[in-house]
Structure 1
Amino acid sequence: MKKMGLNEVREAYLSFFESKNHLRLSSFSLIPQGDKSLLLINAGMAPLKPYFTGLQVPPSKRITTCQKCIRTGDIDNVGKTSRHGTFFEMLGNFSFGDYFKEEVIPWAWEFVTEVLQIPKDKLYVTIYLEDDEAYDIWCKSTDIDPSRIFRLGKEDNFWEIGQGPCGPCSEIHYDRGNGKVNTLEDFIKAAEEDRIVEFWNLVFTQFDKDEEGIYHKLPNPNIDTGMGLERIATIMQGVNSIFEVDTIKSILDEVCRISNSKYGEDYNKDVSIRIITDHVRSMTFMICDGVLPSNEGRGYVLRRILRRAARHGRLLGISKTFLYNLCETVINASKGAYGELEEKREYIKKVIKLEEERFEETIDSGIQILKDFICELEHKGTNTLSGSNAFKLYDTYGFPLELTLEILEEKGFKVDVEGFNHEMKNQRERARAAREQSNYMGSEESILDKISVDLNTDFVGYQNLACNSVVELLIKEDEFIKSLNSGEKGIIITRETPFYAEMGGQVGDKGIIYGHNFKAEVLDCKKNVSGKILHFVNVLEGSVETGCNVSLEVDKNRRDNIRKNHTATHILHKALKLVLGDHVNQAGSYVDSLRLRFDFTHFSEVSYEELKKIEDIVNENIMKVYNVVTDVMTIDEAKQSGAVALFDEKYQDEVRVVSVGDFSKELCGGTHVQNSGEIGLFKIVSESGVAAGIRRIEAVTGFNALSFIEEKNNLLKEAAAALRCSEKDLINKINLELVELKEKEKEIIELRRKLVGSVEEEVLNSLREIKGIKFIAASLKDIDSDSLRNLADKIRDRITDGVVVLGSSFEGRVQFVAMASKSVLNKGVHCGKIVKEIAAIAGGGGGGRPDMAQAGGKLVEKLDEAIGSVEAILESLVK
């Protein structure tokens, strides 16, 4: 058997199927596109769902991929075994109604036995027990020994999820033991004992299961195969664990070096080493594809993985941040196949480092919270931490359950693990409910998904803003119709259109569609999942029918403003890189006729000086009146030319490259000005943070920028008029006013001090006694909380032993303060209880310590009543 590295196996597989006329596609992003049923791509066929359903036409009927995948369903087993992992690569070859069993079975055998050179006496095949066709092909089209083919039931060899496309499958297995397995019972036993391992599943999607459970034959059956790259690599390298595969072992070895540990000597240490090794692969690829740590969705998955790895670093004795350096090993091992890892190296490291540092802070906070829980348990005389408190530590502070268990066990306490699992189950159900349920192929079908794939609209809007065409299809609500009448809203699909459909952050065009005795307002223009251009209209007059001739006109002024804003985002993107650094990448954008919004990767607030530089660079390049040129080329040619591409986007074979002179060059399908001078003026309106590591700039261009500047000028004029000075003296005038204001504030403070001093004696005259305790309760006016507190402090000192309760109305609210001498506390006096009761009378609340407490209230008219209740409250408290 040929010994092959993981990267070598990947290339051999993809090259083999290319030789069988398959189109090799690079891995799709881990972030699903248009599939709300998934947080992260978890299987090789997941990104190809629209091709299987016919919602989209595949670029080829034969495709082969190596797809990055993340699965966290059994994350708790990762590390505990040598087989489980959260990140893996899935090799696959797919047929969309082209070839079927007759081709794929011999190809699979050829690849396994001739390319990989796995000995035939080490291989077994399983098929669905009723699939005689597959059995015959295995026997007639390959030279496998028929006694090595076993039939299994639906549970093992039939692929289906609810209703929809499904079918039998055939799996290829490798025998790691010695001697031949002769019976089905022995085969099942060997598989359970992990002697025999499955490594390639060939799914024959040939049925469509309806609501009643009846299987209907598909007219064009599909092929969907999946082979785990890491698993086949273990076979090719003669190792028993994915952690011993060359590329993964290089990471594991680095973990051992950093932690000064030796793998294979201590089970608990091995668990931590494996967890870190696996998780650093996941986090590196997730961040590269645009996932950022957060408290929800896929960001939460990343945060959990990263913090789990960081925590196990601590268990291995690594006291400092280390994952951001460890990811270098992952990048070096995989950058040949995934060039974006090298492109985003510094960005990936920065994101990991920031999250590691944040975890350092939260884990220390978590330990303090846990100490408080322990004190509470000791006070209550119980030995079990509740599941809800353990989950709070986990969910809020990223504190793994095993760490909570470990610390509590050292102190002689336990955790209600069942209660913790119940909280975890509730959280998972909430997360599942938040995601849209789906059938086998993604989101449920709507009328828009039933539009024939053969219906195409030719977009002519790059060159023309008007054209004549024919109505191909009309939709109203949830059905196809023959006509759309005055006053009705619906969707029109035409043979040609100049209307740009919303895409790439650019909004859809608006305008009119008209014909003989017919006129409709185009409210929006979008695409469905298969790329059909939909005009959302409101019929203003007459009626339109399928097959009739119409004219389409885009709102030119609106399109012009959109084009200005879109080209400005390209110039802005380059300016951001020049000022802030190459780590800046587009993380989202929105372009309409009024403004532009540009999200980008950056890790701190952009300073005023930096924003000024960015704005100046954009305007400088606008004023250079660069020609804006669009070239159509292959994706490889585009990248070689230096064009900026988004790695989480999937591009067609041919792409549009938009160049703004020699300043900016990006892949883009949007509409743009002909030269940068058309933009006129660029003005940044705001800069803000929208997520961890993501900043946002909002800006305006052209006449909208002039309007923005005019608004600012008007504000200046109004401010100058209000302060009775010229605009150039505005700052000096404001500074003078501030100085005067501070002087006035000092005067007010001094007057309040004198006022408080004048009432001190008056308040002391209200001294009374109850059950041998001196007390004063008084209501005042126009005294702020600080002055009230100072007054209460002075009076308490003067009466020596006793209680002072004061209330004051100030600026429409009520404030209370209560203070007591230490000597009366053992008689039952508690200031916190006093203010809580009196504040409730005034429509408020508060509390505090036995010797001092504060509160507030809303009902000024209840002040005297509240202060009048103090005597009765004190009487009830004093023993």
Structure 2
Amino acid sequence: MLSSSEIRQQFVDFFCKKHGHTNIASSPVVPLNDPTLLFANAGMNQFKPYFLGTEKPPVVRVANTQKCIRAGGKHNDLDDVGRDTYHHTFFEMLGNWSFGDYFKKDAIAWAWELLTEVWKLDPTRLHVTVFEGDPANGIPRDDEAAGFWKAVGVPEERIHLGNKKDNFWEMGNTGPCGPCTEIHIDRTPDKSGGPLVNGGTDKVIEIWNLVFIQFNRNEDQSLTPLPAQHVDTGMGFERICSVVQGKSSNYDTDVFTPLFEAIQKVTLCDRPYGGDLNDLKDTAYRVIADHIRTLTFALTDGATIGNVGRDYVLKRILRRAERYGYQVLGTNEPFLYRLVDTVVEHFGAAFPELKKNPHKVKDQIRDEEAAFLRTLRRGITLFNRIAAQMKDEGRTQVSGKEAFKLHDTYGVIIDITLQMAQEQGLTVDVPGFEEEMKIAQDGARAGGKKFAVTAVKGDLPPTDDAPKYDAAVVDATVLGWVVDNEVVRTGALKAGDSAALLLDRTNFYAEQGGQVGDTGTIDRPGTAGAEFEVEDTQRLGETVLHVGALLAGELKVGDRVTLQQTTTRRIDVMRNHTATHLLNLALREVLGHHVEQKGSLVDEEKTRFDFSHDKPVTAEELREIERRVNRQVVLDQVVTAQTMPLAQAKGLPGVRAVFGEKYPDPVRVVMIGAEAPEKVTQDMSVEFCGGTHLPRTGTIGYFKIVSQEGVAKGIRRITAVTGKPAYEDVQTRSAIVDELAGTFQCRPDELPTRVGALQEQLKAAQAQLKKAVAAALTGVVDELIASAPDVGGSKVVVAKLPDGASNETVRTQIDRVKQKCGSAFVVFGWSEGPESAFLIAALTPDLVKKGLKAGDVVKQVAPVIGGGGGGKPEQAQAGGKEPAKLPEALQKADRLGRDLLAK
């Protein structure tokens, strides 16, 4: 039997060695260049620019296996994973592509050859579908594909017609599209599954989809033939492994069996995976095996676990797996991180990037697991309390507010709430929960809308932007403009109109690589002149769009115009961009070579740089980073930009590139301190970069870090300023120091000593206050003991303690009550602020032996103060947000104590 590794390799070898394809490595599952995607979810994602015509493909035949994740957005398979045998959040997509080269005949013949001759699948079990046609849109039936299937030996009775939903592929509402043909395999014992094709059954399943991109969908929804026809095929790796290996489930293949063995080992589950769809433990095995693959690949490719976008999707995935391990397999400590090594060992040969930093992946997962286990335990307790209260009230639906509280306060994601509710025969108001989420998120959204270049409809002319690096002024010809996302080439643009101007050439830099676009003016000289103000510059493919408004006159296609950048702004941007490169170098020198750029924003005001580092940068480290950058500024190093072959650029000493970014060949390299590539040394800043830079570092003037913060687990952000803003920041800080020195009546260099002495005085005063409060409490508690009623031979000591009480002092007084009373029921309440109420219940050992539990006491009393809690039988604590209701809560506690002791 072929192993999964052999199946993967045979696919690549078949197309690359036998049929002249190039094996292009899988793109990262984190799509850095496509903001429309949370994750790479199909093999064609990285080739989308070739289909759209915005980039020219370097080769015309490609084959590979693409890492994919479908767990958010339109392709949301997360809820199904583990409950069946074929859904996955992470999967591999085997594919072969033709960009204007071969078409239907070869694609069909090669697919048949691989399946029946290389993998020896029974041809009598294979069925195919072809597009039935769409008369309303003028699309004929795909008889061409059907004919090619007949030519390779597929009889007519196994060629089925498919509708537009199943057999016509479209990239979007407009753009490239075309019919597809699918290959299905009949798994019925007697090969009688023909009528079940496209029937949604696991008896006959699709194994390969061949898409023939031959039309363009226009704005009016009509179709026109494309000048170049493309092929895009996709075959799920896990599914084809189950077919070739003769397994009934993807999870029964050797893709997953090593993971199942590791799961049993780390969770100490009492039995191995059994493959039962109706068994909760087997479901847990499937969930955990799938989810650890997703987490390992995503974190390796630069994702993080957090609260927004793809980061939140990964948090959901981790927490779902953790809950199955905790509640089903019985593990009570972090375990997922221990499975990472198995993923690396099993998939590292095919995806060597997994071997790069597995310890960092494990650290992220372990930290998140530990944090979630704490909240999960509290959340499960709260949910059980909600469920019990619902049953008392006759309710069967968890409200949106309750579900949101579980999510927002305790980290219990909605998936887990839904599962716990289902287990207790309850439902959840999901729309209500989503509304609460929306209310919470609306306040966090910031930033205005920019001109949406991706929404532009119509053909865009290419722009010669070669002058963008050197020329402050250039002349150009108007080719048209974009208004309301439509390309316009007729009429005139009039004063007051907003548009994106299209020119044959430009010296404006379009927003790219974290650097903002240029601003400036575009004028038509003369007595009847025109003035267009450029507010932003953006790029779509090979076209530069000058976004702004016509202030005076009018412009027509063919007009000659003069472009003038806002020079001072551009220099400020260049100053910050060159400083960013020096910062990147200094970070690696000071913090270590593990530092990788994770994002940046360079504008005229600042540079904002995100990088990988798993702890805050210390004040001393920040000073050293600043010192190193400013040393390069003082040295006035030369800044050289040169375009060279990608292979040569990658060989330069110390060269840096953004992980996962796709670079052109040749590529532009910016070198600081070297006038030519052969003079580059390991300690210089050398980066792939298409941005604008200063000619020398001295023009930066001064570099000052103004803040550092964490933006996600393992990701830090430094914000810095240069030039005049940096000088002003230093002046402001100096003024603050002078003012403080005046207040303390000391020299600036004496401030740390004076502040330290003040802190010591404050600590001493706080200690004295603590003693005074403890003494006062002792007096209060002594009076409570003296006046406490005796019920059944035990004292009932229940009271609200005065302000100034703390957890520590209250516990001390409880010990005194127990010691003095011998047998006592004690509940103390106190407040530590306007929204902070606390309760502690305590019982002496004799009452615990009678079956009384302090935890039960706080569970009944805590809801009065808007909170909850728990603890051990002898002592338990609760917290709430309504201190005004402490008297009511304590009255309830007093009644409860008297009732319990009287029984």
Instruction: Give the structure-1-normalised TM-score.
Output: 0.74
Q: Distance in 2 between matches of 1:280 and 1:744?
A: 52
Q: Which of 887, 894, 903 is matched with 1:849 structurally? A: 887
Q: Contact 2:184 / 2:197 at 8 angstroms: preserved in 1?
A: no
Q: Which runs of 5+ in 1 are unaligned?
A: 435-442, 750-783, 788-812, 814-831, 834-843, 854-879
Q: What does residue range 507-546 of structure 1 map to in structure 2 within 5 Å?
A: 507-517=516-526, 518=529, 520=531, 522-539=533-550, 542-546=553-557
Residues 272-296 of structure 1: CA deviation (Å, up to 9, x unaligned): 1111110001112222333322334
1:16: which partner in 2?
A: 15
Question: What amino acid is aligned across from residue 131 of structure 2 in structure 1?
Answer: Y
Task: Identify the range of structure 1 (158-167 vs 555-564) with the bigger mean alpha-carbon deviation.
Answer: 158-167
Q: Distance in 2 between matches of 1:5 and 1:658?
A: 43
1:549: which partner in 2?
A: 560
Q: Contact 1:10 / 1:229 at 8 angstroms: preserved in 2?
A: no
* 2:262 paired with 1:254: yes
* 2:127 paired with 1:124: yes
Q: Contact 1:125 / 1:171 at 8 angstroms: preserved in 2?
A: yes
Q: Contact 1:449 / 1:528 at 8 angstroms: preserved in 2?
A: no
* 2:112 paired with 1:103: no
Distance change >3 Å, CA 744–CA 93, structure 1 → 2: closer
* 2:290 paired with 1:278: yes
Cα drift, residue 852 of structure 1 = 8.1
Partner SS state of residue 726, structure 2: helix
Identical amino acids, percent of aligned pairs = 37
Q: Distance in 2 between matches of 1:168 and 1:469?
A: 42
Question: What amino acid is aligned across from residue 149 of structure 1 in structure 2?
Answer: I
Q: Which of 308, 320, 326 is matched with 1:308 structurally? A: 320
Q: Distance in 1 between matches of 2:79 and 2:687?
A: 43
1:457: which partner in 2?
A: 464
Q: What does residue range 700-711 of structure 1 map to in structure 2 within 5 Å?
A: 700-711=721-732
Q: Contact 1:6 / 1:245 at 8 angstroms: preserved in 2?
A: no
* 2:362 paired with 1:349: yes
Question: What amino acid is aligned across from residue 84 of structure 2 in structure 1?
Answer: T
Q: Distance in 2 between matches of 1:161 and 1:654?
A: 30
Cα drift, residue 175 of structure 1 = 4.4
Distance change >3 Å, CA 270–CA 335, structure 1 → 2: same
Distance change >3 Å, CA 348–CA 509, structure 1 → 2: same
Question: What amino acid is aligned across from residue 478 of structure 2 in structure 1?
Answer: V
Q: Distance in 2 between matches of 1:280 and 1:568?
A: 39
Q: Distance in 2 between matches of 1:216 and 1:392?
A: 53
1:801: which partner in 2?
A: none
Distance change >3 Å, CA 78–CA 454, structure 1 → 2: same
Q: Distance in 1 between matches of 2:623 and 2:323?
A: 42
Distance change >3 Å, CA 482–CA 155, structure 1 → 2: closer
Question: What amino acid is aligned across from residue 723 of structure 2 in structure 1?
Answer: G
Partner SS state of residue 254, structure 1: helix
* 2:580 paired with 1:569: yes
Distance change >3 Å, CA 17–CA 391, structure 1 → 2: farther
Task: Identify the range of structure 1 (225-234 vs 76-85) with the bigger mean alpha-carbon deviation.
Answer: 76-85
Cα drift, residue 668 of structure 1 = 1.8
Partner SS state of residue 320, structure 1: coil
Question: What amino acid is aligned across from residue 508 of structure 2 in structure 1?
Answer: F
Q: Contact 1:513 / 1:552 at 8 angstroms: preserved in 2?
A: yes
Q: Distance in 2 between matches of 1:406 and 1:218?
A: 49
* 2:377 paired with 1:364: yes
* 2:104 paired with 1:91: no
Q: Contact 2:533 / 2:549 at 8 angstroms: preserved in 1?
A: yes
Task: Identify the range of structure 1 (306-315 vs 516-525) with the bigger mean alpha-carbon deviation.
Answer: 516-525
2:687: which partner in 1?
A: 666
* 2:78 paired with 1:75: yes
Q: Distance in 1 between matches of 2:336 and 2:768?
A: 58
Q: Distance in 1 between matches of 2:395 and 2:555?
A: 76
2:239: which partner in 1?
A: 231
Q: Contact 2:105 / 2:148 at 8 angstroms: preserved in 1?
A: yes
Q: Distance in 1 between matches of 2:500 and 2:220?
A: 33
Distance change >3 Å, CA 265–CA 706, structure 1 → 2: closer
Cα drift, residue 465 of structure 1 = 3.3
Partner SS state of residue 527, structure 1: strand
Q: Contact 1:485 / 1:542 at 8 angstroms: preserved in 2?
A: yes
Q: Contact 1:526 / 1:535 at 8 angstroms: preserved in 2?
A: yes
Q: Contact 2:456 / 2:485 at 8 angstroms: preserved in 1?
A: no
Cα drift, residue 697 of structure 1 = 0.8
* 2:743 paired with 1:716: no
Q: Distance in 2 between matches of 1:422 and 1:666?
A: 48
Distance change >3 Å, CA 369–CA 583, structure 1 → 2: farther
1:6: which partner in 2?
A: 5
Q: Contact 2:398 / 2:427 at 8 angstroms: preserved in 1?
A: no
* 2:734 paired with 1:696: no
Partner SS state of residue 560, structure 1: helix
Q: Contact 2:158 / 2:194 at 8 angstroms: preserved in 1?
A: no
Cα drift, residue 53 of structure 1 = 4.2
Question: What amino acid is aligned across from residue 472 of structure 1 in structure 2?
Answer: L
Distance change >3 Å, CA 338–CA 730, structure 1 → 2: same
Cα drift, residue 271 of structure 1 = 1.7
Task: Identify the range of structure 1 (715-724 vs 678-687) with the bigger mean alpha-carbon deviation.
Answer: 715-724
Residues 80-118 of structure 1: CA deviation (Å, up to 9, x unaligned): 333221111112234455543233222322333444454
Q: Contact 1:307 / 1:398 at 8 angstroms: preserved in 2?
A: no
Question: What amino acid is aligned across from residue 481 of structure 2 in structure 1?
Answer: L
Q: Which of 638, 647, 652 is matched with 2:664 structurally? A: 652
Residues 695-739 of structure 1: CA deviation (Å, up to 9, x unaligned): 211112234322321222233344455666654555667778899
Q: Distance in 2 between matches of 1:849 and 1:680?
A: 64
Cα drift, residue 644 of structure 1 = 2.6
* 2:307 paired with 1:295: yes
1:682: which partner in 2?
A: 703
Q: Which has the higher contact order (CA 8 A, sep 6+)?
A: 1
Cα drift, residue 685 of structure 1 = 0.9
Cα drift, residue 356 of structure 1 = 0.8
Distance change >3 Å, CA 666–CA 202, structure 1 → 2: same
1:506: which partner in 2?
A: 515
Distance change >3 Å, CA 19–CA 531, structure 1 → 2: farther
Partner SS state of residue 307, structure 2: coil
Task: Identify the range of structure 1 (724-733 vs 325-334) with the bigger mean alpha-carbon deviation.
Answer: 724-733
Q: Distance in 2 between matches of 1:325 and 1:363?
A: 20
Q: Contact 1:588 / 1:598 at 8 angstroms: preserved in 2?
A: yes
Partner SS state of residue 325, structure 1: helix
Cα drift, residue 686 of structure 1 = 1.0
Q: Contact 2:115 / 2:121 at 8 angstroms: preserved in 1?
A: yes
Cα drift, residue 369 of structure 1 = 1.4
Task: Identify the range of structure 1 (381-390 vs 544-553) with the bigger mean alpha-carbon deviation.
Answer: 381-390
Partner SS state of residue 480, structure 2: strand
Q: Contact 1:628 / 1:675 at 8 angstroms: preserved in 2?
A: yes
Question: What amino acid is aligned across from residue 549 of structure 1 in structure 2?
Answer: R
Partner SS state of residue 656, structure 2: coil
Q: Contact 1:12 / 1:115 at 8 angstroms: preserved in 2?
A: no
Partner SS state of residue 8, structure 2: helix
2:40: which partner in 1?
A: 41
Q: Distance in 1 between matches of 2:184 and 2:884?
A: 70
Partner SS state of residue 698, structure 1: strand
Question: What amino acid is aligned across from residue 450 of structure 1 in structure 2?
Answer: K
Q: Contact 1:4 / 1:236 at 8 angstroms: preserved in 2?
A: no
Cα drift, residue 592 of structure 1 = 1.6
Q: Distance in 2 between matches of 1:222 and 1:320?
A: 51
Q: Distance in 1 between matches of 2:454 and 2:172?
A: 21
* 2:78 paired with 1:112: no
Residues 491-511 of structure 1: CA deviation (Å, up to 9, x unaligned): 333222222111111111233
Task: Identify the range of structure 1 (564-573 vs 126-135) with the bigger mean alpha-carbon deviation.
Answer: 126-135
* 2:250 paired with 1:242: yes
Instruction: Give the structure-2-normalised TM-score.
Output: 0.72
Q: Contact 2:215 / 2:226 at 8 angstroms: preserved in 1?
A: yes
Q: Which runs of 5+ in 2 are unaligned?
A: 133-140, 444-449, 674-680, 771-801, 806-833, 835-862, 865-881, 892-903
Q: Distance in 1 between matches of 2:889 and 2:341?
A: 58
